Amino acid sequence: MKENQINPWGSESVKDYDKLLKQFGIEDFKQLMPKIKDPMLTMKRGIIFGHRDFGRIVDAIQKRRKFVMLTGLMPSGKFHLGHKMVADEIIYLQQKGARTYLLVADIEAYNMRGQKLEELRKTAIEEYLVNYIALGLKPKKTDFYFQSQRSSDAEKSNAYYRLIGMVSKRTTFNEMRAIYGELTPGKIMSVFTQVADILHPQLPEFEGKCPVVVPVGVDQDPHIKLTRDIAARMNGNKEADFIPPGSFYHEFMPGLKGVDTKMSSSDPLSYIALTDSPKVAKEKIMKYAFSGGGNSLEEHRKYGGRTKVDIAYHMLYYMFEPDDKKLAKIKQDYGSGRLLTGELKQILVDKLTSFLEKHQDAREKAKKKVNDFLD
């Protein structure tokens, strides 16, 4: 992998987000903050660190104009706290008035991972959709679809597949190779499908021309950039009239094993799943969450703990302690050695337990609502 590439199909964790901003022309999210009336916790804390053209969306929200939120998921095993970060973003934007497009990238998963369409469908519904609903997704103005099955409305379906078929005209093999490195037929197909995913809400068969935002992990930025370029070229050739879609990016929630790792569905000891029982979650935190505490009680009391590398602290920071004052006190107490690792972890476990208990009740109710979202 070349230094100047982000790899959408890799599993690397990102080390240096500032460098990403400079190298790829992603804009700094901080500068938008004064304009956002009611920001998410992850926006305030700088976890959402970059964007392209999100200013248009901030504007649309303020003026109550039509806009679209679209994002895609590749079903892979258990839905964990890393996935919840995206779900929270989706639901936030929906509450701000977004028409919500949620797609299951089953064709991409089929081509790139060799998974079966039937199994992908099952995981997408039982894991992802049920959790989205339990977290607050509403069926109103939500369009949930599969890449393999766009819509029962033939005109809509045709418009989407037509666009997949047409976008290739506005890029070249060399451009794609420069962006993605080595190409395979599966990658090429996935890219064109994703470009059409992101652009099709603006077709006359759907919402018509309007701002679109795509909240994703920063590994997806190459697709966003290419989609924006293709949109501009189609406009230039009078083939379409698209507003270049925008995006924003969050840092990945670290995996339990350390700040330089990712929560990954392929390693159960790296994540807390939203279906983990409070007991299992507690055990994972107590046993496996990397601690920045001292090697012994004396050392810890003397030198303090390091919040910079402590996973329990990170989880409070990312999600579970929204109160800045309380968080600052935890940081201070841990850093000074007054608060011990076990005590810090217990603070997290208490928060996590009450979240999981509530969420798992909500999941049971959500299961009954799944059909409201399916075509």
Q: Which residues bind ligand TRP (CB under 6 A)?
A: 8, 70-72, 74, 103, 105, 108, 194, 197-198, 214, 216, 220
Q: What distance in Å separates the CA atoms of residue 282 and residue 272, rounded to the nearest whole number?
A: 9
Task: Report the nearest approach of ligand TRP to the CB of residue 220 (Å).
Answer: 6
| DSSP secondary structure letters along 287-325 | HHS---S-SSHHHHHHH---GGG-HHHHHIIIII---HH
Nearer to ligand TRP, 8 or 82 (CB): 8
* Beta carbon nearer to ligand TRP, 191 or 340: 191
Q: Which is nearer to ligand TRP, 128 or 355 (CB)?
A: 128
Output 194 or 307, the one with its CB closest to ligand TRP: 194
Question: Are 104 and 125 contacting, i.e. CB atoms less than 8 angstroms apart?
Answer: no
Burial (CB count <10 Å: 0-12, 13-18, 19+), residue 267: middle
Amino acid present at 177: R
Cβ proximity to ligand TRP, 220 vs 341, nearer residue: 220
Task: Pick the closest to residue 31 from 58, 6, 64, 69 (CA basis).
Answer: 58
Task: Report how many helices (DSSP H) and strands (DSSP E) the chain contains, helices first.
Answer: 16, 9
Residue 342 CB, shortest distance to ligand TRP, in Å, is 37
- Say if residue 80 is exposed, middle or buried (CB neighbours under 10 Å; 0-12, 13-18, 19+): buried
CB closer to ligand TRP, 219 vs 321: 219
The closest residue (CB) to ligand TRP is 72
For residue 234, the minimal CB distance to ligand TRP (Å) is 17
330 DSSP β-pair partners: none
Q: Say if residues 46 and 60 touch (Cβ distance below 8 Å).
A: no
101 or 317: CB nearest ligand TRP: 101
Phi, psi of 221 (to 5 degrees): -60, -35
Q: To the nearest whole angstrom, how small is the minimum distance from the Cβ of residue 344 to ligand TRP?
A: 33
Query: At closest approach, how far in Å is the CB of 261 from ligand TRP?
Result: 19
From its phi and psi, is residue 239 left (phi > 0), alpha (psi between -120 and 50) or beta? alpha
Question: Closer CB to ligand TRP, residue 137 or residue 285?
Answer: 137
Q: Which is nearer to ligand TRP, 247 or 341 (CB)?
A: 247
> CB of residue 128 vs ligand TRP: minimum separation in angstroms?
11
Least Å distance, CB 23 to ligand TRP, is 21
**Residue 115 CB-half CA count within 13 A:** 20
Q: How far apart are CA 116 and CA 75, in angstroms?
A: 11
Residue keyed to tokens 């797609």: 103
Least distance to ligand TRP, CB of residue 195, Å: 9
**Shortest distance, position 135 Cβ to ligand TRP, whole Å:** 18
Is 256:288 a contact under the CB 8 Å cutoff? yes
